[in-house]
A and B are shown apart, each in its own frame.
Chain A
Amino acid sequence: MYKLHIDKVTFAYGPLQPPVLADIGLSIGSDEFVAVVGRSGSGKTSLLSLAAGFLKPTKGRVHIDGRTVEGPSAERAVVFQDDALFPWLTARQNVGFALKLKGIPKAERERRVAELLAHVDLAACADKAIWELSGGMRQRVGIARALAADPEFLLMDEPLGALDALTRERMQEFLLHLWQDSGAGVLLITHSIEEALFLATRVVVLAPSPRRIVADIPVTFGRRLLQGDTSRAIKSDPAFVAARERLRDLIELQDFEV
């Protein structure tokens, strides 16, 4: 069990720029599914980039149990909004990318990749080119590619943002099962309040100007899906609707404080 700490982090793009994030503190356990919601421009993606190591904090530090994050690493694999797959590789080769970098022997690699592809239900499309796959399939390839690195944390930046509503709902269910099976902690950036409530074990609300965390709420709706409830039943449950409205009020309220 690891913990990813974002420890009093301030980030600005330049010394003269106003900070994108100010004094942010957030810890994510490797058994947690943390969803960050907030309006666009609230610094959600910057937060993820800091956790991934793509950006360096201006002040404060990001660390895993005391070990400072110096840059990107396979222990914190990232899933991107526009998939960022490698179009010169097939689905299978994309998934095997991290294993190839590590120099894992071919036989072992092929076994692991086949396993992962089956896990994301893409075994039949393994040798297709990336551009032959639909948006939902691509995101599953992207997720399998990240899982192949055997990460402690999976950082996802609006992974379902570009999908149509029905595919999105199915992918949400898929993500929940995946999180349960993978044993990796998840940091999910999303602008969908409903998605955050449905998937996460904790929902964090990021507010703009000054960009700070205004709420950090434990939730349990996802557990009900894993116990056999349907998405529709959960999402239309009065408790879910009430939580969604409260969260929405909280985000909208921030706009008037400016």
Chain B
Amino acid sequence: MSTIEDIAGQDEPTAPAPISPGFDWVRLVPLLTVFAIITLWSLAASRGWVSKVFLPSPLAVLKSAYQVSVSGFADSTLLQHLLASLGRVFGALAASIVVAVPIGAIIASSRIGRGIFDPIVEFLRPLPPLAYLPLIIIWFGIGEASKVLVIGLAMAPPIIIATAAGVRSVSRDRLNAARSLGATRSQLLRFVVLPSALPSIVTGIRIALGAGWSTLVAAELVAASRGLGFMIQSAATFLGTDVVILGIAVIGIVAILLELLMRALERRFVPWSTHL
């Protein structure tokens, strides 16, 4: 039986050659852009090109960041505003996943199901949240539920579409392989369809999180008393431009961090996504 032993050593995969080292200066360009914008902004504020009411200096924004963090703005600290917003977005995300994943699976696996849900999803997907916000207030009032619903409605379509795409693209050979190994229908769903579709679902969740986060300010227009969107709104009413800019900066930075977090989760939990 020496033949079998021989095989192992022969076809070991070889590692790709490393890319030649050396620093890629072009990678610094984005940093330069950020630096240029902040410099221009400082100059505009310090030289008085623009009135301080309209454009406070970067330093003033940093100062207000410290102040809002420590003593708060509109009865809440920056962290409390941030947590209120994150709580709404993640609450809406959880609700969307619970609803959207099964709907996506139904759309992919049944023509009737597709007929039922497709028009709803396709109508809802391009709709700006501000358009249906008033209707939701009329129906559900100005409580927390309305805010979560507005964010959730923006999040569901990308998850539904991604889930449907993932379920549709399950490899026929893999399904057949599992069936010829004795898998029942429910085992197929759990052990083959779900893991095959998972990378696509996670991508959908990443897109949804972005969509939800950008709906946040609209949702917090609705009689909120805490949240980043609320903070921006109420600061704007008495020209607290520094707090407005602070709020925008925090929303932008958190959005980038959420994206990075999702990508890390993707690599950690669906490492096979690039190998399907």
Contact = CB atoms under 8 A, between A and B. Distances in A.
B20 interface: no
Interface in A135-180: 135-137, 140, 145-146, 148-149, 155, 166-167, 170-171, 173-174, 177
Interface in B168-199: 171, 173-174, 176-184, 187, 191-192, 195-196, 198
A13 B62 CA distance: 70
B13 A53 contact: no
B192 A86 contact: yes
B182 A78 contact: no
A76 B180 contact: yes
A101 B4 contact: no
A171 B7 contact: yes
B11 A97 contact: no
Nearest to B274: A131
A82 B272 contact: no
A153 to B, nearest CB: 10
Contacts of A72: 176, 179-180
A73 interface: yes
B5 interface: yes
Contacts of A52: 176, 180
Contacts of A88: 195-196, 198, 270, 272
A134 B3 contact: no
Interface residues of A, number: 48
- Chain A CB within 10 A, most for which of B176, B182, B187: B182
A240 interface: no
B177 A177 contact: no
A87 B196 CA distance: 9
B177 A121 contact: no
B27 interface: no
Given A130-B275, A170-B3, A98 B181 contact: yes
Contacts, number: 113
8 contacts: A78-B176, A78-B180, A80-B173, A84-B174, A86-B174, A88-B270, A145-B181, A146-B181
A77 interface: yes
Contacts of B196: 88
- Chain A CB within 10 A, most for which of B8, B12, B174, B191: B8
Interface of B: 1, 3-8, 10-13, 171, 173-174, 176-184, 187, 191-192, 195-196, 198, 270-272, 275-276
Given A87-B272, A129-B272, A135 B181 contact: no
Contacts of B6: 170
A149 B276 CA distance: 24
Contacts of A171: 7
B3 A174 contact: yes
A74 B3 contact: no
Nearest to B3: A173
A71 to B, nearest CB: 7
A76 B177 CA distance: 11
A173 B7 CA distance: 10
Contact of A149 (B10, B11, B182): B182
B195 A86 contact: yes
A133 interface: yes
Interface string A34-71: 00000000000000000011100000000000000001
A121 B5 contact: yes
Nearest to B5: A121
A234 interface: no
A74 to B, nearest CB: 4
A16 B130 CA distance: 54
A114 to B, nearest CB: 16
Given A129-B272, A149-B180, 15 more contacts: A52-B180, A54-B179, A54-B180, A74-B180, A78-B177, A86-B192, A101-B182, A101-B184, A101-B191, A134-B12, A140-B7, A167-B10, A170-B6, A170-B7, A174-B4
